[in-house]
Structures are given as C-alpha cells and as structure tokens.
Amino acid sequence: MGRILPLFNQEAQLIKALQKADPRAQRQVYEKYSSRMLGLCIRYVGDKMTAEDILVEGFMKIFDKIDQFKSEGSFEGWIRRVMVNEALGYLRQRKRLLDDVELDEAQSIADYSYADQNLNAEELLQIIDRLPVGYRTVFNLYAIEGYSHAEIASALGITESTSKSQLHRARTMLQQLVAAWDNESKKKVDYEKASS
C-alpha cells in the first residue's frame, strides 16, 4: 500500500489544491519532483546532506509561495528556479561563490563518446565537484539549467563577462578532468585485458 495514487491528474488541478495547502497535493508534488530536485541541489552544493537541507527549504518555499506561480511557464520550470535560487542563496551565505584558480590550457579531447558511454552520473558529479564553486555554479546554470549569461549575471550579482570567463574556465577544467579520467580508465581496461 506504499504507492500513492495520483489524485490530481491535471497540473492545474494540482496547483489549485496546492493553493489550498492540501497535504495530499503537497505529497504528490514532492513524490514527483524531489529526486530530480535533489540531483540539482547536489550539483550546486556538492554534498548530499546539505543538498537535502536545501531541498527541504525549497519545498517549503514552493508550498508557501505557490500563489506566486503564474501559469505562464511550466510548473517544473518554476520549481527548478525556486530550487536554484535556494541553492544560490546557500552558496552566497557561505561566500564561496567566486574563488578563482589558475588554470593550464586545456588539452582538448576529440571524442567524448567513450566518456559518454562509460561515465555515470555519480562519476560526473565527482568530477564537477572538483571545480571551484564559482565555476561550478556558472557551469550548472549555463550548461544544465540553460540560463543565459545575462540571467546568470543578475542571479549572482556579477557581470556578464565574468560569467562568460567563469564558464570558459569551468569547461577547460572539466575537459582536463574528463581527459584524466579517460586515460585512467583506458589504462585500467588495457591492464585487465593484458592480465586476462
């Protein structure tokens, strides 16, 4: 009996119920989006525990400020934005947003197909977690959430050019990290082949 039947089939119905603070609707929204949103939060803050705190805060904000949701965009988009803002708020509090690191010129990888096939989400997360917070945040916002540089600039209180340069550096660093992982795993495969 663990499954909860979807009581609100239409999104409009669900939102109406949320506006009345219906606990069933809240549960349904949580069931539907919590996992995806936890993934998002982990991408920004790095560790699962903190991400869960942000998730809880985010959902409370969603339930409290449901009246602010205008049915113009998608509901998931709105939830995603609330969560991103919550995560950015946390990072801002920690004041770790814009630390800089010196980077070597990235060695370019011609083919990402190997990494694409063999890297799973957890491994990619480990790679992304090695980025400085500023780079990671800009990369997350631009590459995964699809924000424009202008939006990122206003969200983080930086200039557009800073956003662009941070994205560039993030990409460079990620390329290096993926390449390093690529080499290591290929070596491992070769070793396994040789030993067998």
Binding-site ranges for another protein (CB under 8 A): 1-2, 4, 7, 21, 23-24, 26-28, 30, 34-36, 38-39, 42-43, 48, 52, 55-56, 59-60, 63, 109, 112, 115-116, 119-121, 124-125, 128, 139, 142-144, 171, 174-175, 178
Residues comprising the chain, all counted = 196
**Taking CA 146 as the corner, what is the angle to CA 14 and CA 37, rounded to the nearest 5 degrees?**
45
d(CA 155, CA 100): 19
Rg of the chain's alpha carbons, rounded to an integer? 20
Select 112 or 191, whichever has its Cβ closest to another protein. Answer: 112
Beta strands in the chain (DSSP E): none
Token pair of 143 as six digits: 């590459």
| Smallest separation, CB 174 to another protein (Å) | 5
Distance of closest approach, residue 99 Cβ to another protein, in angstroms: 21
Minimum distance, C-beta of residue 111 to another protein, in the bound complex (Å): 9
Q: Name the minimum Å distance from CB 74 to another protein.
A: 15
Q: How far is the C-alpha of 29 from the C-alpha of 143, rounded, in Å?
A: 26
